């Protein structure tokens, strides 16, 4: 059972092949002057570039952390569609906290403190969401939307109060962690061993999440809580506690993702429009659905979506001006196609349902 | 022998109902005890009290001589009681072993990992000890219902249960699986476990139990030794009077084919074929029965016949006219009435009152509606007529459907459907969960329709019902009709074999013997 219930790797392979084909076709239609072979050559050059892969990994961070968080919440039976909001909250908080501690130029320790505070605040937000859903039996979808909408309004507003505008000033980011010797390996070295600490954290989190879900008692309980909570209740495990834990983990992991985006990569909070998070939480949801609730699958899907995003930038640089909106909808189209046709993404049976111990 | 469970004067009240009225129950250790009674007699409530799901309003629970109080099932489990519910409490996506150890997983590496080898080994040992055939590595969703039931039993045993309560354990099993289950009971009892099982089938109680306690209307009406009692005695205890084992039935006088189904194939939502080439010809003035264990395609067959689903292949016709492509509403207009198997899901709108429910299916038709407007005076009169004729209680047309008891809901549906003056009646489990008085009433009405020359298709998993009412009886197994037999000549054993998909050598088959010369 090394890859979960379903052949996630095969699904991913099919997904990648389909997407590359679709991209090529799109290019063919949009730029009939340049034959596809040409584009193919350009694509190969881009994809084989270590810089490109590095930037994809950094882009993957917020999406994949949100996805991992979403897995824990939804597998426990609470659908958390407020992941986007949690990313926004933590992105903002990390900047605000680091700036409050270190002024315009916080040092690394202050950045890390800001990061920690952001994760804490995101977890507290998730706790609020959990209380509303579990204690007061609010509709999970509506409560999740509320989390997003509140974050979407609150973060830019707080920015204005603090900095007089929706965007924060630019402060530093985390230094890369360079691992001696290993970072000298061609291609692999700069990608994997001279990377942002967020990338390392993500790789650890993916493995740890998989392990927690598939090898520990807690993982079995999460599964049971989302599939048949009564079965869990009757053997004496408190379903509410399991669900609280699942939702809190989604807040914790999304917090890392959001803070990792703001002070891990950009060094600024951008609050205009859809904010700097710009739908990455939503893509995170599609990523875990695409990955069938398997952390490795979710990571793969996040990586895939991030690589498309990055690809569009690169193609722009070499003169292919594909509208970013077109690339932006690919994850959603993919997930609809996967859910409808490739099929068998198995949504936990009791996800979205309230559970009350002792009810018949 | 020592007494394992002693319930002393248990009373449990729900708003408006006394479900258990000072019930005493004594179960000896190491025996199999059947709790027998009709639906609604309070059997499950009593066991839920013992299991800590309900707090009793009065009375005490004694376990091995000690008075105990269980606030939650957890307390009961800790005291060594295990309960196997009608709906299994299993997690489909986990393996059988993972389900059995759920909540008590053996761990290794300082609690950081589940010790799966140990869990599977322990489950395998436990399984072998009681002669079960359960593969610890199989996923629950991939094993049969019979095996799932054993997983439930093993789960209780793994949790340390000495007293096992099973709620209607045979309801979902084939006759062969029922035999196996009773074998398991004996094995468990031999090894000192105490078993209480709930049933409404007196044959099962006599076969499997050492002692039988009969509940009626929430009261203990007698505890008997299974070897020293008779079916008649038990039946009398259950219903409180002599049971009419035969309905008044005139000889059949079949006419033309009223409802014909040919080569019908129905596939369910998951793409699994549930009905595989069924042919039926039900005649006017005849009750054509369909028997079988639930889940062998009867529901899908009925849905295709009544127009709720579209068959993949095949034809449904009423009096020779093809109705396969017609909607439910067109079929109603063509004279097909339907008593659905799930009255709360399909038969009634629970939030509507009886006036509105009485209109369902006729909301477009004269005299209740014209030009999109409903004549509520007419509609109310209609509901009142049904209530009067079918003795629906309370006799209040403004009562919401959900406030009625199951039996009264069913009587109202039957009344509504029969009031359409149908040519063809499709009745699916028309007496499920209905009290004895109402059962007789519904049976009589069905036979009235038969006498009037209507065509009746009757689906039921109650053998005595289909056997008693039908003129011809088809047995379904895995989507096919195994055989069509004469219900007056077939024995219960033969039916049992047929329901398990086997054709006994001397089954009284009749393909179409009542058709006669036309």
- Are the beta carbons of A230 and B89 separated by less than 8 Å? yes
pLDDT at residue A34, as a whole number: 58
Q: Which of A228, A236, A346 is nearest residue B74 as measured by Cβ atoms?
A: A236
User: Cα distance from A234 to chain B (closest Cα, Å)?
Assistant: 6
| More confident site: A213 or B273 | A213
Select the more confidently predicted residue: B512 or A151. A151
Digit-coded pLDDT (tens) for B101-128: 998 899 988 888 999 999 999 999 999 8
Q: A296 to chain B, minimum CA–CA distance in Å? A: 19
Q: Which residues contact B513 (CB under 8 A, 6 or more apart)?
A: B472, B486
Residues of A in contact with B114 (CB under 8 A): 215-217, 220
Q: Which of B53, B99, B112 lies closest to A216 in CB terms?
A: B112
Answer yes or no: do A346 and B93 touch at CB < 8 A: yes
Check pLDDT > 80 for residue A350: yes
| pLDDT tens digits for range B195-232 | 999 987 778 888 999 999 999 888 899 899 999 888 77
What is the band of A317 on the pLDDT scale with cuts at 50, 70, 90? confident
Percent of chain A with pLDDT over 70: 87
What is residue A100's predicted lDDT score, i.e. its pLDDT?
A: 93
Contacts of A230 in chain B (CB under 8 A): 89
Q: What is the pLDDT of residues A277-292, one digit of tens each?
A: 989 999 999 999 989 9
Chain B residues contacting A, CB < 8 Å? Answer: 53, 72-74, 77, 89-94, 98-99, 102-105, 107, 111-114, 155, 159
Average pLDDT, integer, range A294-309: 91
Map out the domains of chain B with their CATH numbers: 3-239 (3.40.50.300), 244-335+424-518 (3.40.50.300), 347-421 (no CATH)
Across residues A71-82, what is the average pLDDT? 96
Interface test with A, best of B15, B51, B87, B93 (most A CBs within 10 A): B93
Q: Which pLDDT value is given to residue B515?
A: 40
Is the model's pLDDT at B517 over the cut of 50? no
For B87, B204, B212, B220, B425, the CA distances from B227, given in Å and listed in that order, are: 31, 13, 10, 19, 43
Kindly state whether A350 is in contact with chain B, defined as any CB-CB distance less than 8 angstroms.
no
Mean pLDDT along residues A163-185: 89
> Which residues does chain A have within 8 Å of residue B77's beta carbon, measured at their own beta carbons?
234-236
Structure tokens at B214: 């009969």
The predicted model scores a pTM of 0.73
DSSP string, B34-58: EEE--TTSSHHHHHHHHTTSS--SE
Residue B160 has pLDDT above 80, yes or no: yes
Structural domains of chain A in order of their starting residue, each with its CATH number: 34-342 (1.10.3470)
Q: B288, B470 in Cβ contact below 8 A? A: yes
Q: What is the pLDDT of residue B192?
A: 92
**Percent of chain B with pLDDT strictly greater than 90:** 47
C-alpha of B366 from chain center: 37
pLDDT of residue B499: 78
Measured CA distances, B143 to A231, B50, B149, B500 (Å): 18, 30, 10, 18
A84-A111-A267 Cα angle (round to 5): 60
**Tens of pLDDT along B420-472?**
889 999 999 888 767 667 788 889 899 999 999 999 999 987 777 888 899 99
Partner B contacted by A232 (CB < 8 A): yes
Confidence of residue A143 (pLDDT cuts 50, 70, 90): very high
> What's the whole-number mean pLDDT along residues A32-51?
69
Side-chain half-sphere CA neighbours of A74 within 13 A: 26
Q: What digits encode the pLDDT tens for the residues A178-212?
A: 888 888 888 888 888 888 999 999 999 999 999 99
- Tell me what the mean pLDDT of segment A89-113 comes to: 92
Taking a C-beta distance cutoff of 8 angstroms, is the pair B415, B246 a contact? Answer: no
Would the pLDDT of A37 be above 80?
no
pLDDT at A345: 73
Residue entry with tokens 């047995």: B475
Cα(A6)–Cα(B327) distance, integer angstroms: 39
Q: What is the pLDDT of residue B98?
A: 94
Cβ of A234 within 8 Å of Cβ of B73? The answer is yes
Interface-testing mutation among B91, B106, B109, B112, with chain A (most A C-beta atoms within 10 A): B91
Distance from CA of A142 to the nearest CA of B (A): 25
Mean pLDDT of B401-406: 80
pLDDT in tens, B39-81: 668 888 899 999 988 899 999 999 999 999 998 888 898 899 9
Report yes or no: A208 at the B interface, CB cutoff 8 Å: no
- What residues of B are in contact with residue A216 (Cβ under 8 Å)? 112-114
For B468-495, what is the mean pLDDT? 88
ipTM attached to this prediction: 0.82
pLDDT, tens digit (0-9, with 9 covering 90-100), for A15-33: 666 766 676 666 666 666 5
Mean pLDDT of all residues in chain A?
Answer: 86
pLDDT category of residue B514 using cuts at 50, 70 and 90: very low
**Using CB atoms, which residue from B53, B91, B107 is nearest to A227?**
B91
Alpha-carbon span B178 to A50, nearest angstrom: 65
Nearest to A269 by CA among A260, A280, A256: A260
Contacts B112 to A, Cβ<8 Å: 216
């Amino acid at each position: 059972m090394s890859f979960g219930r379903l052949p996630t790797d095969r699904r991913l392979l099919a997904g990648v092949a389909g997407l590359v084909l679709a991209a090529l076709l799109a290019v063919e239609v949009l730029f009939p002057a340049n034959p596809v072979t040409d584009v193919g050559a350009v694509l190969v050059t881009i994809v084989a570039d270590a810089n490109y892969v590095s930037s994809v990994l950094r882009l993957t961070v917020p999406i994949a952390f949100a996805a991992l968080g979403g897995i824990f919440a939804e597998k426990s039976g609470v659908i958390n569609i407020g992941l986007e909001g949690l990313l926004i909250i933590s992105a903002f908080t990390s900047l605000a906290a680091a700036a409050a501690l270190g002024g315009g130029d916080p040092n690394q320790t202050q950045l890390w403190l800001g990061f920690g505070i952001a994760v804490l605040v995101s977890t507290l937000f998730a706790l609020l969401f959990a209380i509303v859903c579990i204690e007061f039996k609010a509709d999970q979808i509506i409560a999740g939307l509320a989390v997003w909408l509140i974050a979407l309004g609150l973060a830019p507003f707080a920015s204005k109060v603090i900095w007089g505008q929706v965007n924060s000033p630019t402060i530093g980011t985390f230094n890369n962690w360079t691992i001696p010797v290993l970072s000298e390996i061609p291609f692999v070295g700069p990608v994997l061993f001279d990377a942002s600490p967020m990338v390392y954290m993500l790789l650890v989190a993916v493995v740890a999440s998989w392990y927690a879900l598939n090898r520990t008692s807690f993982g079995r309980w999460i599964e049971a809580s989302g599939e048949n909570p009564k079965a869990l209740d009757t053997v004496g495990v408190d379903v509410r506690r399991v669900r609280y834990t699942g939702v809190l983990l989604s807040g914790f992991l999304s917090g890392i993702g959001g803070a990792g985006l703001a002070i891990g990569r950009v060094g600024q909070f951008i609050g205009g429009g859809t904010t700097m998070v710009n739908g990455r939480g939503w893509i995170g949801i599609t990523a875990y659905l695409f990955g069938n609730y398997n952390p490795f699958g979710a990571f793969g899907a996040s990586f895939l979506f991030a690589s498309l995003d990055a690809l569009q930038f690169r193609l722009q640089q070499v003169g292919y001006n594909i509208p970013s909106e077109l690339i932006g909808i690919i994850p959603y189209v993919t997930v609809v196609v996967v859910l409808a046709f490739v099929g068998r993404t198995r949504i936990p049976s009791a996800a979205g349902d309230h559970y009350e111990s002792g009810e018949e | 022998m020592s007494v394992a469970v002693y319930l002393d004067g248990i009373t449990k009240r729900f708003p408006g109902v006394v479900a258990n009225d000072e019930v005493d129950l004594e179960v000896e250790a190491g025996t199999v005890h059947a709790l027998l009674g009709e639906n609604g007699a309070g059997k499950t409530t009593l066991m839920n009290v013992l299991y800590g799901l309900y707090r009793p309003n009065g009375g005490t629970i004694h376990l091995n001589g000690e008075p105990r109080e269980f606030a939650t099932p957890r307390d009961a489990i800790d005291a060594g009681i295990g309960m196997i519910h009608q709906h299994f409490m299993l997690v489909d996506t986990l393996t059988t072993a993972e389900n059995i150890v759920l909540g008590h997983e053996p761990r290794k590496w300082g609690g950081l990992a589940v010790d799966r080898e140990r869990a599977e080994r322990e489950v395998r040992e436990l399984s072998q000890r009681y002669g079960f055939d359960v593969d610890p590595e199989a996923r629950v969703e991939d094993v049969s219902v019979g095996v799932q039931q054993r997983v439930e039993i093993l789960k209780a045993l793994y949790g340390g249960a000495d007293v096992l309560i099973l709620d209607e354990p045979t309801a979902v099993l084939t006759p062969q699986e029922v035999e196996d289950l009773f074998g398991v009971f004996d094995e468990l009892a031999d090894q000192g476990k105490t078993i209480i099982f709930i049933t409404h089938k007196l044959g099962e109680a006599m076969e499997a139990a050492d002692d039988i306690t009969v509940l009626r209307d929430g009261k203990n009406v007698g505890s008997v030794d299974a070897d020293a009692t008779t079916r008649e005695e038990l039946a009398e205890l259950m219903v409180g009077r002599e049971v009419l084992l035969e309905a008044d039935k005139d000889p059949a006088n079949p006419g033309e084919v009223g409802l014909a189904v040919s080569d019908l194939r129905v596939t369910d939502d998951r793409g699994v074929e549930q009905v595989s080439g069924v042919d039926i010809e039900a005649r006017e003035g005849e009750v054509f029965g369909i028997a079988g264990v639930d889940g062998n395609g009867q529901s899908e067959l009925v849905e295709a016949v009544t127009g709720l689903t579209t068959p993949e292949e095949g034809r449904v016709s009423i009096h020779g006219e093809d109705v396969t492509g017609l909607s439910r509403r067109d079929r109603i207009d063509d004279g097909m009435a339907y008593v659905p198997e799930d009255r709360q899901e399909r038969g009634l709108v629970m939030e509507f009152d009886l006036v509105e429910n009485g209109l369902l299916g006729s909301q477009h038709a004269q005299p209740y509606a014209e030009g999109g407007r409903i004549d509520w005076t007419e509609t109310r009169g209609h509901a009142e007529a049904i209530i009067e004729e079918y003795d629906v209680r309370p006799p209040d047309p403004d009562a919401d459907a959900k406030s009625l008891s199951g039996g009264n809901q069913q009587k109202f549906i039957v009344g509504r459907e029969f009031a359409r003056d149908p040519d063809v009646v499709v009745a699916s489990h028309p007496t499920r969960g209905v009290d004895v008085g109402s059962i007789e009433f519904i049976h009589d009405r069905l036979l009235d329709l038969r006498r009037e020359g209507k065509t009746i298709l009757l689906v039921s998993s109650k053998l005595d019902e289909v056997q008693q009412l039908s003129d011809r009886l088809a047995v379904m197994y895995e989507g096919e009709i195994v055989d069509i037999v004469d219900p007056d000549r077939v024995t219960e054993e033969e039916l049992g074999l047929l329901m398990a998909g086997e054709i006994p050598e001397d089954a009284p088959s009749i393909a179409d013997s009542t058709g006669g010369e036309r």
